[in-house]
Structure 1
């Protein structure tokens, strides 16, 4: 098995009031996202990424179209890369959600599902399915998605145990992994929203 690059990208900041729960809710990107794509294009070209996988959400798809064209990548939409479905919590302020339910979620992130939403295990299974295909194909890929899916993909690419409630990369960030046979990797994290770059050691 050859080593290959995996560039994980979280969409740019969005036009949503602070403290609002949103996952499947389709929200718009904040003005200025085009400059973030310009920086991502340079990174994707440097990593020789050939395929760009995108969540179907507007906030990812809009960026993906421009990025794929700029960096010369084949664009593929994959519905498995959608954010967690929060069901009846979508569009609701976190502070207005029943605290008992939030505590249940914190205690059992895999098994708990918001009313009419999906569980952490549902998210895990579809992202794991996507990652298995990426490993099998050994393509130089870029993945443009959301906090939840990227939290798991970062763990898969880095070779460490995924945590459903672990911090995810902020909006406008990218992480580049070199994935090998034993998940040996070097991880670089870049903040394109502020044009600030920092190195992050790969957790194994």
Structure 2
């Protein structure tokens, strides 16, 4: 998708971290610090560096403090980027669910979260309302930023970019982008001004 001349410059270029080790079938949030393969972290850092060079983006990146994001930032620092660790970029905190197999979590608890996606704090952790506030805070202070973050954080950012008038539900919550994928957010709380990218 080409950039429209009438659109403002993109505000955030955000990548989802590479696939972590040991995540399959588990609820992985802010309390579970899984590692990523060193080569995958380096490969994503190379892609980010190439895109920054090609698109004239700043040589500065902010990452979640979790290793699956932070390790990409460390590679970028070796490539001459300024790297900042930002706790606001962390994944949703799933409380006592975090790190557990989804099958081991009580179905009634999952149903309660699905019934109130925004206000309910899964596992006694963090609500989506709090996550949306964190995304807004990053957006407010980081125009034209390069970010490495998580699937849930990016889903929240995409929701805000869509500018929907009603609260998100389990059925309407955006699907997380794939591991290592980029999302360009043009403006939050505006309709359909984001684009996923495979670069």
**Same-fold call, TM cutoff 0.5:** yes
Which runs of no fewer than 5 residues in structure 2 stay unpaired? 1-7
Give the alignment partner of residue 113 of structure 2, picking from 96, 105, 110: 105
Q: By how many angstroms is 1:20 displaced?
A: 0.7
- Aligned partner of 1:142 in structure 2 is 146
Please state how far the C-alpha of 1:183 moved relative to its aligned partner.
Answer: 7.5
Say which SS state the counterpart of residue 171 (structure 1) adopts: coil
Match for residue 84 of structure 1?
A: 92
Number of residue equivalences: 184
Q: CA deviation at 1:116?
A: 3.2
Cα 1:45–1:188, aligned 2, differ >3 Å: closer, same or farther? farther
Q: Please state how far the C-alpha of 1:83 moved relative to its aligned partner.
A: 0.6
- Partner of 2:163 in structure 1? 160
Alignment map for 1:27-42 (pairs within 5 Å): 27-30=34-37, 32-33=39-40, 34-42=42-50
Partner residue of 1:18 out of 16, 20, 24? 24
- Quote the offset at 1:32 in angstroms: 2.9
Superposition TM-score, scaled by structure 1 size: 0.78
| Cα separation, 2, equivalents of 1:166 and 1:184 | 12
Given the two structures, how large is their TM-score scaled by the length of structure 2? 0.80
Which of 105, 118, 121 matches 2:126? Answer: 118
Q: Which has the higher strand share?
A: 1
Deviations 1:108-135 (Å, cap 9, x if unpaired)?
111111233111111111211221222x
Q: Please, what is the CA RMSD of the aligned residues?
A: 2.6
